[in-house]
Structure 1
Amino acid sequence: MFRLIKKCEVAKDAWEILKTTQEGTAKVKISRLQNLTRKFENLRMKEDESVHNFYMNVMDFANSFDDLGEKLSDEKIVRKILRSLTKKFDMKVIAMEEAQDISTMKVDELIGSLQTYESSVNERIEKKNKSIAF
């Protein structure tokens, strides 16, 4: 990076070079945002994926948006997660949407609730599989 700004005499010039290098020009930035938005919209939880791993994927996208100057709100992230979960979470999602105000829910609150539900479902499946084995 230093090589890019070594000859700059004014901090503003150095800043503009670094900013353009990281974000790209306005057209490149818009293109990156559109591409990122498309990928984010298509993101779905895989059947064998844990809530934690899916959450990490979503947050990677949120950080990428942040890097391009677009901050995703908690509400947008919460809504994305809720509509992208696998079918085994359908009943939990319905219950949460009816019982809570999704627009004010924090992401970590949602993830904690989903992980608790996931553990419970996985425990029941494990018990069922053990009883079938005997």
Structure 2
Amino acid sequence: MKSYLKAFNIWDAVETGVEPALIYANPTIAQMKQHEENIAKRYKALSCLQSALSYDIFVRIMHLENPKEVWDHLKDEFQGSERTKQNQVLNLNRQFEMLSMDDNESVREFSGKLMGIVNQLRLLGKAILEDRLVSKMLVSLPEKYESKISSLEDSKDLSQLTLKELVNALEGLEQKRAFRQKKLVDSALVARTKTLKSGGSNSKRNVVEKKEKREETSG
């Protein structure tokens, strides 16, 4: 919402909450125009905030006519006090540090969980640097990725690697493994099918041979 308001150049009406200055006698056309724009900014910002809310939340702020008052009310209600925010940050940091990837989990699934925590921290004003994200991803990977990590260390400066680049490299490894596994399964199925067919042919041949022997004996 903050980015949306900034895009329409009305965030300052929310951030400052200052009432448009009174216009004095005999104003110039430029002064009148500026005054009208300042008033319009306030109501545009107020309208944007109100229209973004559900009815249940809107009725709680409908009595407020200053966009800054609306913004502050919503911040207090949904973000809580500074102490509450600090506790949230501590809990999220703890989740971040304890997070690790399971053997049966894909790289995309794990990176999604990781970024979910990171985005919550960013919303609370806690910046997470790219190199910390890469380091966290590397130490959280299961043992089966060690060879890939070693090759990355040999070929690249990991301090310059982005999380997106790392995820792409690891997903490439996953796809290769999945392709090899599929080929092995397909080969096993083909071999089994051939064995079954061969066994069936041998059984039919044995039946024919036994029948011929019985006929010769009876003859």
Tell me the residue number matched to 2:99: 43
Deviates more, 1:30-39 or 1:115-124: 115-124
Distance 2:142 2:182 in 1: 19
Shift in Å, 1:130 = 5.3
Does 2:146 align with 1:90? yes
Q: Partner letter of residue 143 of structure 2?
A: K
In 2, the alpha carbon distance for the partners of 1:80 and 1:4 equals: 41
- Matched residue of 2:127: which SS? coil
Residue 78 of structure 1: aligned partner: 134
User: How many angstroms apart in 2 are the aligned matches of 1:62 and 1:21?
Assistant: 22
Q: For residues 60 and 89 of structure 2, what CA distance do their matches in structure 1 show?
A: 25
Number of aligned pairs? 134
Q: Which has the higher contact order (CA 8 A, sep 6+)?
A: 1
Question: When the two structures are superposed, what TM-score results if normalisation uses the length of structure 1?
Answer: 0.87
Match of 2:68 among 6, 12, 28: 12
Unaligned runs of 5+ residues in structure 2 are 1-56, 192-219
- Deviation readout 1:25-55 (Å, 9 max, x if unpaired): 1000000010011011111111111111111
RMSD: 1.9
Question: For residues 105 and 19 of structure 1, what CA distance do their matches in structure 2 show?
Answer: 36
> Are the counterparts in 2 of residues 4 and 17 from structure 1 also a CA contact under 8 Å?
no
Distance (whole Å) between structure 1 residues aligned to residue 77 and residue 153 of structure 2: 42
Among residues 64, 72, 77, which one is paired with 1:21 in the alignment?
Answer: 77
TM-score of the aligned structures, taking structure 2 as reference length: 0.55
Note the C-alpha offset of 1:10.
2.5
| Match in the other structure for 1:34 | 90
8 Å contact from structure 1 (residues 75, 105) kept in 2: yes
Partners of 1:97 and 1:6 lie apart in 2 by 57
Unaligned runs of 5+ in 1: none
Dislocated runs of 4+, deviation >6 Å: none
Percent identical: 31
Paired position in structure 1 for 2:45: none
Of structures 1 and 2, the larger Rg is shown by 2
Distance in 2 (alpha carbons) for counterparts of 1:90 and 1:21? 46
For residues 47-77 of structure 1, give each alpha carbon's deviation from its aligned partner in whole angstroms, at most 9, with x where no partner exists: 1111111111111112111221223222221
From 81, 94, 117, give the equivalent of 2:173.
117
Q: CA deviation at 1:129?
A: 5.1
**What is the SS of the residue equivalent to 1:47?**
coil
